[in-house]
Amino acid sequence: MEHETFQPPNEGTWELDTTHTSRPITWFTRSALVSGFPRGFAEGLARYGLLLGRYDVAVIGGFLYAQRLPFGFGGTATPEQMQARIATSARAFTEQFWREDLARWDEVVKPRAVAAHLAVQAVDPTELPDDELAAHVERCRDHLEAMFELHHRYSAPSLMATGDFLAGALEWTGATAGELMGLLRGTSAISTGFATAELDALADAVTASESARAILLSRDDPAALLYSLTTDPGAGPAAQAYLDAVRYRSIGYDVGEPSAGELPAMELGAIRAAVAHRKTGPGDDGDASLTAIRSRVPAEHLAEFDDRLHEARLANRLRDERATYSDGWAVGLARRALLEAGRRLAARGALADPEHAVDADAAELAALLRGAPGPGADEVAARFRRRTTRTVDDAPPLIGPPPSPPPLQEELPELARRASLAVDAAMANLFAVPDIPNSATTVRGLAVNTGVYEGPARLVVDGTDFEHVRQGDVLVTRMTSPYFTVVLPLLGAIVTDRGGQLSHAAIVAREYGIPGVVGTREATRLIPDGARVRVDGTTGEVRLLN
């Protein structure tokens, strides 16, 4: 059996990634992630001429680690190549590359990705002979790699306009990043849920159908109730459309997390919440907030403030769309194939449990399905145990020497400096969490979306915990991802350990119009499941009330 150690692949600095997953990476996902993630990132960074040249990732000790390297690191770029890179960064702003990228995303890239997903989804793994299922598992792995690459190829365009706005507005206004990000509210519809239109249509259909309303009032088995809803004369087509839209949507970033279709209680709860109480979304205070913040901008910067805000609002939706239409779908499709492979291999004793299939890589699973030698059931079970019993708290936050300081901004040409400042602002507000002391009764973090909400805390560590989320709960989790959107109709507030004002949890709270506090560092440790809490989205405090 493999004994994973925290031995890095090189002598550089590796930082623990706490934004994508809170547990070790499954064996199936590793190669696709480590290949696709940095390749996509490098393409996006080169496209914008950024002096952050590479954002590499590696699985160390089972966990995801990242390494940031400047362009030309170790003398790998000539002076001419450096000048060309800087010239590209200048053009990125003068020509507003993100507009071109957004148009290409809408017209070419997103439709092509959807078509690729649907082609994989059209294959029913349960109907395939073992040899064809083996090939399908390998296809899902390659599809996942391509979608990891796509997601991160669009990281730069999804963050540049927002980072540029923040970098300037923070300096000009003295406002907090949270106040400034509030000005982007209402510009990312995808952040309120991938299947929002389908859910709204279903809520309308249920409201108009007495028999469908009776089904939702029943306390029978959730899976049985969902089936009854799909066969209801009035609401059936809308119910089927919604469930089809979310069925293969992953709740997490890795195939070890369940897809929405595996969580019928959560799906049913989301439908009940949508019928009972429509979220109104952003409040009507946006104009007042903008007026107040604009009044603090020096006159000589006002036109530029307006221009940067306009561009940030334009590009903001790409932040979550790039994930929703890439790996968020591909992860769920891969898991579907893996569970079928696991079912067959467990039936013949090659695996101890169907769920263990996620901790064999694609080549190993294909070999086992074809009757060739592969890892033993005990070995894969040990991998599964090791992955599911550890969290990022068990991994060192840093491996190697401390990170090198960034190049001095003053040494860069003006537009290259602007690009560097935009990257710094985006990265700081994506990952940085405040160092504010917590207590046994009060947890503090970054305030997201004004308002106060009291309700029961629902601690979500793994995707299966979503089955316990009920309408009006306060989601308390390490971090959220764009794939959490299926559960949004249930929530009264969001509290996370990790993430800044550009994190998905912060975006969701703003777009969905609910209070949120992110970057508390310790909420999942200090807030017991079921405890009644008061979330203050203005002060950034979460108080335990009992």
pLDDT at residue 4 above 70? yes
Within a domain: 29: no
Boundary (domain end) residue, out of 224, 258, 276: 276
Q: Could you tell me if residue 195 is inside a domain?
A: yes
Strand order across the beta sheet in which 442-444 lies: 442-444, 541-544, 532-536, 452-460, 473-477, 491-496, 516-518, 446-448
* Sheet strands side by side (includes 14-16): 52-60, 63-70, 14-16, 398-399
Domain final residue pick, 276, 294, 325: 276
Q: Which residue has the tokens 């070419």?
A: 108
pLDDT value at 165 more than 50: yes
- pLDDT-derived band at 270, boundaries 50, 70, 90: confident
SS3 of 10-36: the string is CCCCEEECCCCCCCCCCHHHHHHHHHH
CB 461 within 8 A of CB 521: no
Is 50 exceeded by the pLDDT of residue 32?
yes
pLDDT of 437 over the 60 cut: yes
**pTM of the predicted model, to two decimals?**
0.91
The answer to whether the CB of 400 falls within 8 A of the CB of 8 is yes
454 burial via Cβ count (<10 Å: 0-12, 13-18, 19+): middle
- Mean pLDDT of all residues belonging to the chain: 91
373 located within any domain: no
With a cut of 60, say whether residue 340 has pLDDT above it: yes
Using pLDDT thresholds of 50, 70 and 90, give the confidence band for residue 478.
confident
User: Degrees (nearest 5) of the Cα angle 238, 241, 242?
Assistant: 90
Q: Is residue 379 part of a domain?
A: no
Task: Bin 373: left if φ > 0, else alpha if -120 < ψ < 50, else beta.
Answer: beta
Residue 532 · residue 539 · CB < 8 Å: no
- Band of pLDDT at residue 482, cut at 50, 70 and 90: low
Q: What is the pLDDT of residues 70-79, one digit of tens each?
A: 888 888 899 9
Mean pLDDT on 415-444: 88
Look at residue 280 and tell me whether its pLDDT is greater than 70: no
Task: Please say if the pLDDT value at position 1 is more than 60.
Answer: no
| pLDDT single digits (tens) 354-396 | 999 999 999 999 999 999 999 999 999 999 999 999 988 899 9
Calculate mean pLDDT across residues 194-222.
Answer: 91
- Which pair of tokens denotes residue 46? 């080169």
Least confident of 157-161, 286-290, 319-323: 286-290
| Predicted confidence band of residue 409 (pLDDT cuts 50, 70, 90) | low
C-alpha 203/C-alpha 272 separation (Å) is 8
Query: 21: which 2 tokens?
Result: 């997953």
* All residues at 6 or more sequence positions from 90 whose CB lies less than 8 Å from its CB, including other chains: 49, 413, 415, 416, 419
Range of the domain at 217: 191-276
pLDDT category of residue 332 using cuts at 50, 70 and 90? very high
Neighbours of 413 (CB within 10 A): 13
Q: What is the pLDDT of residue 278?
A: 52
Q: Which of 243-257, 296-310, 436-450, 479-493 has the lowest mean pLDDT?
A: 479-493
Q: pLDDT band for 281, please (50, 70, 90 cuts).
A: very low
Give the residue among 170, 183, 181 at the shortest CA–CA distance from 424: 170
Each residue of 39-56: pLDDT tens digit? 999 999 999 999 888 899
State which of 227, 250, 276 marks the end of a domain: 276
Is 469 inside a domain boundary?
Answer: yes
Q: List the alpha helices (DSSP H) in 283-407.
A: 286-294, 302-315, 318-324, 327-347, 362-369, 377-388
232 found inside a domain: yes
In the chain, pLDDT over 90 holds for what percent of residues?
68
Does a structural domain hold residue 517?
yes
Tokens (6 digits) for 436: 């504010």
The rounded distance, in Å, linking the Cα atoms of 290 and 182 is: 9
54 has which bridge partners? 69
Per-residue pLDDT of 105-145, as tens digits, reads 999 999 999 999 999 999 999 999 999 999 999 999 999 99
Q: What is the pLDDT of residue 481?
A: 72
Is 58 a residue whose pLDDT tops 60? yes
Q: Lowest mean pLDDT: which of 121-125, 168-172, 286-290? A: 286-290
Split into its structural domains, the chain has a count of 2
Residue with tokens 């959730």: 222
Residue 400, class by beta-carbon neighbours within 10 Å (0-12 exposed, 13-18 middle, 19+ buried)?
middle
Is 238 part of a structural domain of the chain?
Answer: yes
Of 243, 245, 257, the closest CA to residue 331 belongs to 257
Q: 325 — phi, psi (to 5°)?
A: -95, 10
Contact 239, 227 (CB under 8 A): no
**Domain of residue 525, CATH code:** 3.50.30.10
Q: How confident is the model at residue 13 (pLDDT cuts 50, 70, 90)?
A: very high
| Lowest model confidence (mean pLDDT) among 120-124, 193-197, 396-400 | 193-197
Q: What is the model's pLDDT at position 306?
A: 97
